[in-house]
Copies of this chain bind each other. A is one copy, B any other.
Amino acid sequence: MRRMPTYLHRLIWLRNEGEEWVSCADLAAYMNIPHILVRKDIAMTGLPGNKRYGFHVVDLINAILKFVGWADATTATLVGAGSLGSALLGFADFQAYNFRIETVFDASPQKVGTTIHGYTVFDFADIQKKLQNNPPKVGVICVPDTAAQTVANTLVSLGIKYIWNFANVCLKVPEDVIVQREVISGGLAVLSAKIKTLEEGDDIQPAEE
């Protein structure tokens, strides 16, 4: 599932370049992963290929969007407009994924009222008032670790059932709430284990991601 955005990103680029067809081999070479892995991933979307030309680029884009759940819009609110939050607000691909950040909140008086990548930052103190009648589907948490649980509690109280959490803390939420946590340093752990293996001749092989 984690490879799907990369396929999409490449396919959208190919579409914009005017390419009509793509082969598993092309995608595999671009991503530097085995051919068979690409074939399996695409098979999961259910799109049939053409023996001669491979896959139709636009059809494959739509098949992946449908498979991942991005065919329809997903609404979201983002809390925490610091550097990481700002980076997310500037992430162009969200539009392709129909992921729509509708509101942005921050508790800092320096941030409230400013505009970041076209989004006005609202005061976190007003989140109940602003969202209670029409809460978005997803809450994105980009606040410091110490504030993350409080923010999560507020999002849950608004009826938000899905949380994308970038704070380095495991949130306590009711059982019917789904939290997807991003551990930015997870990739560094994988990389460091590879460095160790390669440079120290260590025979512990890091797990495949």
Report A's interface with B, CB cutoff 8 A: 1-6, 9-10, 30-32, 44, 67-70, 74, 82-84, 86-88, 90-91, 93-94, 97, 99, 137-138, 162, 164, 168-170, 178, 180-198, 200, 204, 206-207, 209
Contacts and interface: CB of A to CB of B under 8 A. Distances in A.
Oligomeric state, in copies: 2
Nearest to A176: B198
Contact of A190 (B6, B44, B94, B180): B180
A185 B5 contact: yes
- Name the prevailing secondary structure of the A interface residues: helix
Nearest to A90: B83
A5 B191 contact: no
A187 B182 contact: yes
Contact of A204 (B32, B67, B70, B88): B67
A5 B145 CA distance: 14
A2 B189 contact: yes
27 contacts: A1-B190, A1-B207, A1-B209, A2-B190, A3-B186, A5-B185, A5-B186, A5-B188, A6-B168, A6-B170, A6-B183, A9-B168, A10-B170, A31-B170, A67-B204, A68-B189, A69-B195, A74-B192, A83-B84, A91-B185, A97-B185, A138-B195, A162-B194, A164-B191, A178-B191, A178-B194, A180-B194
